[in-house]
């Protein structure tokens, strides 16, 4: 047997390095198949302070740039929302849940396409809940916009994905405030709000939620 070890000694010496090299060569999968699809590249900020976010994306006409400055308020509990017509709707209640409202004040060039953002709340345990209208229930899926970063009445330009959508008539104001409602578990206290158009780049704003605030109050 010593003969075999002796004959293969160089290969045996090289083996640990070869194994390391093989693992390293496979590590591209983390970068190619995981990293780009998760929120791994944040622009950080704090509630009450404006944060600038610019992100160049592609549509059918080429590239366009999302460019905005966001100031997030601290999340407060909410029991209702007001739709575009000014009608007030209560959120249906469900045992063990509550709805948080986080106001985002946005400053942006009215020509910058800002539609199609996604927003989620993250708590101290790493739990994350997306802004979606259907879990809010009741009138929310009809009365709230599918994407919350632009005012529903004047969303401004959209990226062109070849759907032939007409540009909306109303010009988006240069500064506006939109509420973001998210239904979470009762014991979920948001610690940050994350906003993105395309992963992995995103805004991550630390917030100081006020769980004791009056849910009925209009922000």
Binding site for other proteins (CB under 8 A): 79-80, 90, 92-97, 125-130, 132, 134-135, 137-138, 182-188, 216
- Minimum distance of other proteins from residue 185's CB (angstroms): 3
Q: How far apart are CA 119 and CA 117, in angstroms?
A: 7
Q: How far apart are CA 30 and CA 62, in angstroms?
A: 28
Kindly tell me which of 69 and 204 has the beta carbon lying closer to other proteins.
204
- Minimum distance of other proteins from residue 125's CB (angstroms): 8
**180 touches 46 (CB < 8 A):** no
- Minimum distance of other proteins from residue 181's CB (angstroms): 12
Give 35's DSSP letter. G
- Minimum distance of other proteins from residue 193's CB (angstroms): 15
Beta-carbon contacts of 91 under 8 Å, excluding residues fewer than 6 positions away, are 78, 79, 80, 81, 99, 136, 137, 138, 140, 181, 183
- Minimum distance of other proteins from residue 55's CB (angstroms): 23
Kindly tell me which of 48 and 92 has the beta carbon lying closer to other proteins.
92
Q: How far apart are CA 214 and CA 210, in angstroms?
A: 9
Kindly tell me which of 59 and 187 has the beta carbon lying closer to other proteins.
187
Kindly tell me which of 46 and 127 has the beta carbon lying closer to other proteins.
127
Helix (H, G, I), strand (E, B) or coil at 127: coil
Kindly tell me which of 116 and 138 has the beta carbon lying closer to other proteins.
138
């Amino acid at each position: 047997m010593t003969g075999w070890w002796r004959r293969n000694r160089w290969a045996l010496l090289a083996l640990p390095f070869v194994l390391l090299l093989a693992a390293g060569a496979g590590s591209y999968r983390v970068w190619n198949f995981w990293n780009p699809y998760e929120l791994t590249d944040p622009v950080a900020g704090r509630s009450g302070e404006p944060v600038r976010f610019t992100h160049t994306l592609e549509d059918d006409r080429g590239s366009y740039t999302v460019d905005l400055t966001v100031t997030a308020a601290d999340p407060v509990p909410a029991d209702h929302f007001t739709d575009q017509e000014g009608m007030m709707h209560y959120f249906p209640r469900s045992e063990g849940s509550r709805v948080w409202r986080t106001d985002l004040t946005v400053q942006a060039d009215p020509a910058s396409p800002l539609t199609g953002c996604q927003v989620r709340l993250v708590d101290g345990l790493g739990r994350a809940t997306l802004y979606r209208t259907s879990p809010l229930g009741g009138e929310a899926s009809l009365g709230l916009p599918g994407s919350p970063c632009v005012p529903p009445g004047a969303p401004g330009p959209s990226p062109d994905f070849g759907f032939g959508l007409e540009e909306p008539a109303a010009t988006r104001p240069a500064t506006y405030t939109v509420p973001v409602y998210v239904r979470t578990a009762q014991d979920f206290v948001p610690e940050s709000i994350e906003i993105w158009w395309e992963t992995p780049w995103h805004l991550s704003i630390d917030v100081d939620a006020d769980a004791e605030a009056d849910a009925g109050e209009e922000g």
